[in-house]
Amino acid sequence: MNLSDISDKQKALILVSGLVALLLIFILSMVSLSNKNNTLTAKLEREKVVSLSLLKLQDKVFYLKLSSAKSKSIIRNTYHKAENKNIHIQSNNRIVFSSPSMLFSDVLNGLNTLKNKYNIVAVEADIKSIGGGVVNVRMTFVHP
């Protein structure tokens, strides 16, 4: 069968059928994308609710009251990788930590751990880059 053997009416019918098929495929893909969008929107709404609930609960988290000696020990253990570290209790609830050579990533990870796990927070920090991700650090912490 040759293309020239098909009548103009049949060619038009084939063309219209092809366009209808393409339109149908397009509509079905849009319906599928719409369903996926609705599912993702619902999931996002559920995650927002959970996130808000967690934020409210975080405000109500109870932290144990720590002694200065216990807080000093926790800070020492958190920064156990630091070389030549110096930790001393400055006043009733202030602890000073210093190290002349420490990875900056270890400083950040330690700050995160101390805050989230023990509610020990840095109120002063003097951090100077030595190079290659290594810093000279002096931080003052307060504890609950």
CA distances from 121 to 6, 47, 141 (A): 83, 29, 5
pLDDT band at 62 (very low <50, low <70, confident <90, very high): low
Please report the pLDDT score of residue 40 as a whole number.
92
Locus of tokens 């366009």: 19
| 74: nearest Cα among 4, 8, 142, 18 | 142
Q: DSSP letter for 102, please.
A: E
pLDDT in tens, 78-108: 999 888 899 999 877 799 999 999 999 999 9
Delimit the domains of the chain by residue range.
3-59, 68-142
- What six digits make up the tokens of 139? 């931080």
Residue 61 in this model has a pLDDT that exceeds 90: no
pLDDT band at 10 (very low <50, low <70, confident <90, very high): confident
- What six digits make up the tokens of 117? 């796990």
**C-alpha angle with apex 13: 11 to 18, nearest 5 degrees?**
95
pLDDT in tens, 67-85: 888 999 999 999 998 888 9
Rounded to the nearest 5 percent, the helix, strand and coil shares of the chain are 55, 25, 20
Q: From the CA atom positions of the chain, what is the Rg in Å? A: 32
Percent of the chain past pLDDT 90, that is, above it, reads 63
Give the mean model confidence (pLDDT) for residues 33-54. 91
Amino acid at 28: L
Amino acid at 141: F
Long-range contacts of 8-17 (CB under 8 A, 24+ apart): none
Q: Which CATH class is domain 68-142?
A: alpha beta
pLDDT band at 63 (very low <50, low <70, confident <90, very high): low
Task: Please state the pTM of the whole predicted model.
Answer: 0.55
Q: In sequence order, what E strands does 31-133 have?
A: 86-91, 94-103, 121-131
